[in-house]
Structure 1
Amino acid sequence: MADGKSSCADGFCQTSVHVDVKDYYGKRLQTQKDLQTNACLAPTKPVPPFIREALKKVHPEVSDKYYGCGLVVPECLEGCRILDLGSGSGRDCYMLSQLVGENGHVTGIDMTEGQLEVARTYIDYHMKEFGFKKPNVDYVQGYIEALTEAGLPKNSYDIVISNCVVNLSPDKKRVLAEAYNVLKDGGELYFSDVYSSARLPEEIKTHKVLWGECLGGALWWKDLLQLADEVGFSPPRLVTASIITVDNKELQDILGDFKFVSATYRLFKIPKGNDKTCQTIYNGGITGAESSFQFDCHYTFKANEVVEVDAEVASILTHSRFTENFTCQPPGGSSTSCGAKPKTGIVDPFDLALKLDKQGQGSTTGGCCGPQSSACCK
């Protein structure tokens, strides 16, 4: 199933996986109630008020036909150009269009015409609802493995997001490579997806329902680290994770001892070779995180507090849209340093999910930024 070719166009070959996924999301699923696992309905922490209000303005039909996992909302969005991979019926696009404002833009790409039809039907409705004079959202039919072939220009997006979609692709390295190509320098791929505890056997990978439910195509989480490096991204930063349960006994029997987790990672397109740590001071200014900003599971920055960060984070903070929100200086350059040492090391998302579950935290949106941020995309 994962390698069966069915048709080619413009240099990209559609596989039988794409055909099966189109059928599953275009015909088989009509509402979220039709899902047979909670892989695409992972629990989340309470949603920040301004995001909750933005979601309330999304048309009910758009929300009902949306099948993403978690809530993918990175920080600092005003004026940004965002691309949503596998945008489906457009719920996240319409929510994000409010946060980027009229000077920003959101593009959704999806291969399923039925989903796009729902999304496009309500463009005028949402622009009127948001009070925008002209649309700041558009939708493109195409494959997430072939973004440039779909007409999306290289080096043009500040942020690429994806919500439980990368696992549906049979060629995940190509998805990451295409996302890297369309991102501007300093841009970010911020996405929530499903990962497995080990590489999956063909019996699971070729099961149509398990693939459609976002389990059969799940990457072993360690493979994500390798693929990201091969493509050129900075090492993935794990933001949050939550355990996925499968209540369907028939499907669980097929899955056996394999475990799954919903995890949110952030990957940046930044220069290589930075090996210097630095002390950072979070200046505040991010809506929803004015006093405390959770960057990932290692670093939560409190406003006006000096924190020493590792070289990777130092490079991200000085080459991305977060630059104006942070003051960076060489280690030892401040007498007010809290003395905290940089936090390094790979984090197992299963370990983090268990830790958060014990703390009663579940998953999270990873912190968000609304239209009042002082350092967003211009």
Structure 2
Amino acid sequence: KGCICCHFDHVLQDYYGKILSQTSDLKSNACVPSAKPIPTYIRKALAEVHPDVTARYYGCGLVVPECLEGCRLLDLGCGSGRDCYMLSQLVGENGHITGVDMTENQLEVARKFIDYHMQKFGFKKPNVNFVQGYIEALREAGLEEKSYDVVISNCVLNLSPDKASVLQEAYHVLKDGGELYFSDIYSNARISESLRANKVLWGECLSGALWWEDFLRLAAEVGFSVPRLVTASIVSVGNEELQRLLGDYKFVSATYRLFKLPKNWEKKRCLVMYDGNITGSEEKLEFDAQYTFKVNEVMEVDGDVASILKNSRFSEEFTFHSQASTACCAKPKVMPVNPFELVEQLGSSDVLSSTGGCCGPQESCCM
């Protein structure tokens, strides 16, 4: 890690380990929760998390992909472990979740309650562990290559000065067919160096935001599939002093899903039918902003989505048909790749799904 990364590490460790002791200490309302209700099964899982863990949680919204039973998950920037303990119930005793964070003060809280939660969940052995390390250097922290089915991140990528390394490391530790499912803050233009140097703006998840076009480029360079935009919501800074410093920059919270697919897999359009066996998505699976799969409804998918469904953990949840097998099928919605345009198209400043996305009043952002 270079000296620039080390400088930002110390800034963030002080900000999240010392300056912030509770959610209300944050100076902006850059992160807002979804206005839509949280699904019952997730709400029940959250209710089982110890209140001391929840009190030290600085994340925004929820990042909960579907089809997790038995999976191995990695949570980047896990903080006090709230999401890890919630997700440990969803993966079950045969699954496992690892939380990684660079802030020892946060990890102390997380580790303190491992036995409490395992006993509460009725698990014979822990299915959660916490590792101190940097999200830019996961393998150096002892995480093995090709060992995780899903990597999640909740408003953490923007806190890293080396975002390419974060994406590269996530790619390396994912199994073939694995997914990076994450929410973060994006800007409408590349942030200036002077703003990036502002410690408060960085710690509040604003000046470290990626220009959304740079994100698409980085994802392709690392080797991920074309990013699937799940949700988007306009971010209102709320603090007059911070807004003055930011000038004309605009921000959006967005959830994306990226998949690690075989290099030479043929991307061929096909017809699919969702079987309805995923917990919480028994009637329909809202895969992204473009595709919603209804039970027993045949839908045409493009080559990218066909490759994702066939090569990921979703393969057993769908029946696949050749393109010529039926002439009558549902068509996907036409949606933009620009998250700012998605918000405009949907005509709402809050279009977050209930299981994805940073941000909103009352709740805070980042780790």
Q: TM-score, normalised by structure 2?
A: 0.93
Residue 219 to residue 359, structure 1, CA distance change in 2 (3 Å): closer
State which of 22, 26, 30 in structure 1 corresponds to 2:13: 22
> What corresponds to 1:348 in structure 2?
338
Pick aligned residue for 1:364 from 338, 348, 354: 354
Aligned partner (choices 83, 94, 100) of residue 103 of structure 1: 94
Partner of 1:167: 158
Aligned mates of 1:78, 1:36 — CA distance in 2: 37
Is contact 1:42-1:242 (8 Å) kept?
no
**Following TM superposition, by how much is the alpha carbon of 1:131 offset from its aligned partner in structure 2, in angstroms?**
1.2
What CA deviation, in whole Å up to 9, does each residue of 1:113-149 have, x standing for no partner? Answer: 0000110111111111111111110000000000000
What are the equivalent positions in structure 2 for 1:187-198 lying under 5 Å apart?
187-198=178-189
Deviation at 1:363, TM superposition (A): 4.2
State how far apart, in whole Å, the 1-side matches of 2:118 and 2:26 are: 30
Q: Which amino acid aligns with 1:287?
A: T
Deviation at residue 356 of structure 1 after TM alignment? 4.1
Measure how far apart 1:272 and its partner are. 3.5
CA deviation digits over 1:55-92, x for unaligned, max 9? 01111121111111220000001110000001000010
Select 1:75's aligned residue among 43, 62, 66. Answer: 66
Contact 1:295–1:366 (Cα < 8 Å) also in 2: no
What is the match of residue 256 of structure 2? Answer: 265
Structural mapping, 1:83-102, within 5 Å: 83-102=74-93
Q: How do residues 75-154 of structure 1 correspond to structure 2 at under 5 angstroms? A: 75-154=66-145
Q: Quick one: which of 237, 240, 245 aligns to 1:249?
A: 240
Say whether 1:303 aligns with 2:295: yes
* Structure 2: segments with no counterpart, 5+ residues: 358-367
| Contact residue 146 and residue 175 of structure 2 kept, 8 A | yes
Match of 1:312 in 2: 304
Deviation digits for residues 202-240 of structure 1, max 9, x if unmatched? Answer: 121111001001111000011111101100100110000
Q: Could you tell me how far 1:359 is from its partner in structure 2? A: 8.5
Conserved? CA contact 1:281–1:307, under 8 Å? yes
Q: Structure 1 residues 213, 181: CA separation in 2 closer, same or farther (over 3 Å shift)? A: same
Change over 3 Å in CA distance of 1:179–1:359 after alignment to 2: closer
Aligned residues: 356
The residue number in structure 2 matching 1:329 is: 321
* CA displacement, residues 21-73 of structure 1 (integer Å, 9 cap, x when unaligned): 11100011111111112223343421000100000111112111111122000
Q: How far, CA to CA, are the matches of 2:62 and 2:141 in structure 1? A: 26
Q: Report the residue type matching 1:350 in the other structure.
A: F
**Displacement after TM superposition at 1:278 (Å):** 0.5
Q: CA deviation at 1:333?
A: 1.1
Superposition deviation, residue 358 in structure 1: 2.8
Cα separation, partners in 2 of 1:272 and 1:344, compared to 1, 3 Å = farther
The question of 1:5 aligning with 2:3 is answered: yes
Shift of 1:347: 1.7
- Kept in 2, the 8 Å contact 1:193–1:262? The answer is yes
| CA gap 1:303/1:196 in 2 versus in 1, 3 angstroms | same
Q: 1:238 aligns with which of 214, 229, 232?
A: 229
Query: Residue 34 of structure 2 corresponds to which residue in structure 1?
Result: 43
2:170 aligns to what SS in structure 1? helix
Q: CA deviation at 1:338?
A: 2.0
Secondary structure in structure 1 of the residue aligned to 2:190: coil
| Structure 1 pair 155–45 and aligned structure 2 pair: CA distance change class (3 A) | same
Aligned to 1:287: 279
Is the 8 Å Cα contact of residues 73 and 98 (structure 2) preserved in structure 1? yes
TM norm structure 1: 0.90
Counterpart of 1:224 in structure 2 is: 215
Q: Residue by residue, what CA displacement relative to the aligned partner does 1:178-211 show, whole Å, maximum 9, x if unpaired?
A: 0000000000000011100110011211110010
Paired AA for residue 165 in structure 2: R
Alignment check: 8 A CA contact 1:41 1:67 kept? no
- In the alignment, is the contact (CA less than 8 A) between 2:80 and 2:109 conserved in 1? yes
Deviation at residue 167 of structure 1 after TM alignment: 0.6
Name the structure 2 match of 1:277: 269
The C-alpha deviation readout for 1:141-193, integer Å capped at 9, x for no partner, is 00000000000000000000000101100000000000000000000000011
The RMSD of aligned alpha carbons is 1.8
> Which runs of 5 or more residues in structure 1 are unaligned?
7-13, 368-378
* Partner SS, residue 327 of structure 1: strand
Change (3 A) 1:245 1:345: closer
Query: Percent identity over the alignment?
Result: 64
